[in-house]
Amino acid sequence: MTHPMFEFDPEEIDGATMEAFRAFKRAMMLHRRLLMATFAEENMHPAQAGCLQALAHRDGMSQSDLAEMLHVSRPTVTTMLQRMESAGVIERRPDESDSRVTRVYLTDAGRALAGRMHAGFVDMLNVSMGTMSDADRGEFTRILGAINDHVESVLKERGVGAWAHPTHGEETAR
């Protein structure tokens, strides 16, 4: 099924490019739906699950670091954390050395929920990428890596800065 927003003249974009984009977009949408279905039992949005995973690996992150890691604005992370705090899975405390900074910590309930969310992520990855052969996964990784490298170089040319992923340290386009 085509989407009218993504119809272009053949002089603008060739058919193979458009089909590749549609397949990529469909994969992203299906993965999002799979995550939503996986976390529905916990009444958890995938972004909140991602936040729990980040804190499970680095408890006590600042709200700013969480916003950067999750690729969301600071007001968005604040709203998300308010909901998570109300649910009793995180707590916010002022930084001991800088009162302008708020740090986010998992509660015991949050750690337990993070474990269940981790299992959901593992399931999602095994359902999707885990079904591919080693050769296909390698080729998929190579192709996406080439696309990402090219897009990152274009972003840099256009003056969009790079950022370092807080847990992996790699530089990524932003």
**What mean pLDDT is predicted for residues 41-53?**
87
DSSP 4: G
* Phi, psi angles (nearest 5°) of residue 156: -65, -40
The pLDDT of residue 4 is 57
Q: Is 100 left (phi over 0), alpha (psi -120 to 50) or beta?
A: alpha
Residues 100-143: pLDDT tens digits? 999 999 999 999 999 998 988 898 899 999 999 999 999 999 99
Residue ranges of the domains in the chain?
A: 12-131, 133-174
Strand partners, 173: 162
The pLDDT of residue 162 is 57
66 CB burial (10 A radius; 0-12, 13-18, 19+): buried
Residue 168 — pLDDT band, cuts 50, 70, 90? very low
Measured between alpha carbons, how far is 28 from 168 in angstroms, rounded to an integer?
22
Residues 66-77: pLDDT tens digits? 999 988 889 999
The pLDDT of residue 169 is 46
- Let me know if domain 12-131 sits in CATH 1.20.1050.10: no
